[in-house]
Chains A and B, each alone.
Chain A
Amino acid sequence: MRLIVVTLVVLLLATSVGLGLTWATATRGTDLGTITIGAWTARPRTGTADIDPYSRASIARSGELPVGSGDGVMFIASTDDNKRALDGRCDVVVSGVTPAARFWTMTLYDPKGRLVANALQRYGFTSQEIVRGSDGSFEVRIAARSRAGNWLPTGGLDKYVLALRLYDTPVGVATRTQKDAPMPSVTTVGCP
């Protein structure tokens, strides 16, 4: 009798520990092969045949197609530089320069990777359409209400993520630090 109870407890524990870990790693991801620069993270290895099993599981679960490494690399920011979650009701400024790339795009998604509807039909910027300062740097203002300059609407979502994709770029598996890849800063400048 006691053996049966012990066995049942062991099996229950094993199932909850095992599937719980799998769920956590598949939804939140792991730090395997992750580059973190400021608020931005990328997993360039997901775009190659050397992808790790955790990233494979997470891609299979979300249903996305990773950017191939011969195409480019995708950086994601879900917080600002001070680790504060990006809030669509606040004003967030993304400013600075981007790493060397032939083109880049910056896109705003909800946490599940869906575009956010807005009347302007503006979901992001490409490197070609963005308005820059005389030194080549740019400033994107992300806010619920319209702003001057490069305004990216949030639709008032309480949480969103930014994706910065670099196309045809030397940034990749060998990239480590800000020096290799100068990423723009992400700052929350004001909340209502």
Chain B
Amino acid sequence: MIRIAFTLVAGVVLGVIVHLVSVLALPRIASQDAYARLEPLTKLNAVTQLPATEPGNAPMPFMDPAFATAVCRYDLSGGSIKLTVPVSQAYTSVSFYTRNEVAYYAINDRSAGRRVIELDLMTPEQKAELPEDEDITAADRLIIVSPTPSGLIVMKALAAEPSLMSQAQAALTAANCRVQTEPPAAPAKR
């Protein structure tokens, strides 16, 4: 009797441990996560337009078909990234995801407050290397720190009506995402 009870208790306790470990490990071992799905479709450190979301061609589940979407898959090991996204007519947003799809930052056109959303994306180390220059901290540049060296930037422009989809897509074709070869401090000096 005691042996059966012990077997059950030991099994359940070990089971809970297995459960916790597997939940924590799942984001790292999942092979069909959003990053893996977008990897063959997108260029590294450049903006790729995704086709309009329709049944059968959506790379990820639960994509909003009312939006034109563009993705910049980034890798910061070669330097920080400069991102510029012109604001479309209705609503534009830029969301940042880590390699494991944690949405660590998102901004929309209104909170950016101008016609072009302009951001610098860098690793914590690259940010620490920025010279402590008055000009840079004072410049109204937005600096985003990525918790992982690689990840996804997703740019979305709303087509408030289906007929406006081509306009929304056109706005995103002007978006730009590139590695800054020179240190980001240089262009701020005018």
Q: Quick check: is A102 within 8 A (CB to CB) of the other chain?
A: yes
C-beta contact mask, B82-108 vs A, less than 8 Å → 1, else 0? 000000001101011100111111111
**A28 contacts partner chain B, Cβ-Cβ < 8 Å:** no
Give the contacting residue for B22; candidates A18, A63, A121; CB below 8 A: A18
Assess the A102–B91 pair: CB atoms within 8 A: yes
Give residues of chain A (97-120) contacting chain B, Cβ–Cβ below 8 Å.
102-103, 105, 107, 109, 112-117
Interface pair B33/A63, CB less than 8 Å apart: yes
9-residue interface stretch from A68-76, A140-148, A178-186: A68-76
User: Is B8 in contact with A13, judged by CB distance below 8 angstroms?
Assistant: yes
- With both chains docked as a complex, state the minimum distance between the C-beta of B15 and any C-beta of chain A, in angstroms: 3
Q: Is A47 an interface residue (CB 8 A)?
A: yes
Residue of A nearest to B61 (CB): A113
Whether A47 and B103, one on each chain, are in contact in the complex, defined by CB atoms closer than 8 angstroms, is yes
Chain B neighbourhood of A60, CB < 8 A: 26-27, 30, 33, 100-101
Residue B55 CB within 8 A of the other chain: yes
**Is the CB–CB distance between A107 and B32 below 8 Å?**
no
| In the assembled complex, A41 has its CB within 8 A of some CB on chain B | no
User: How many inter-chain contacts with C-beta < 8 Å in the A-B complex?
Assistant: 206
Asked if B16 contacts A102 (CB within 8 A), the reply is: no
Question: What are the interface flags for A22-48 relative to B under an 8 Å C-beta threshold, 1 for contact and 0 otherwise?
Answer: 100110000000000000000000111
Q: Is the CB of A22 within 8 A of B23?
A: yes
Q: How near does chain A come to B94, taking the closest CB pair, in angstroms?
A: 8
Q: Which residues of A contact B100 (CB under 8 A)?
A: 56, 60
| A167 adjacent to chain B (CB < 8 Å) | yes
Contact between B158 and A63, CB atoms less than 8 A apart: no
Q: Which residues of B contact A72 (CB under 8 A)?
A: 93
Write the chain B residue with the least CB distance to A15. Answer: B18
Contact of B10 with A by CB under 8 A: yes
- Minimum CB–CB distance from A163 to chain B (whole Å) comes to 6
CB–CB A61/B30 < 8 A: yes
Interface check A137, CB cutoff 8 A = no
**Which of A77-85, A86-94, A122-130 forms part of the interface with chain B?**
A122-130
Q: Which residues of A contact B8 (CB under 8 A)?
A: 13
B147 at the interface (CB under 8 A from A): yes
**13 additional contacts, CB 8 Å, given A22-B18, A71-B108, A128-B160?**
A11-B11, A13-B8, A14-B14, A17-B11, A60-B100, A62-B62, A63-B32, A64-B62, A67-B106, A103-B90, A103-B160, A123-B55, A168-B108
In the A-B complex, list the 5 residue pairs whose CB atoms are closest, starting with the nearest: A18-B18, A68-B106, A113-B61, A17-B15, A13-B11
Interface residues of B (CB under 8 A from A): 3, 6-8, 10-19, 21-24, 26-27, 30, 32-34, 36-37, 53-56, 58, 60-62, 64-66, 90-91, 93, 95-97, 100-108, 110-111, 147, 152, 154, 156, 158-162
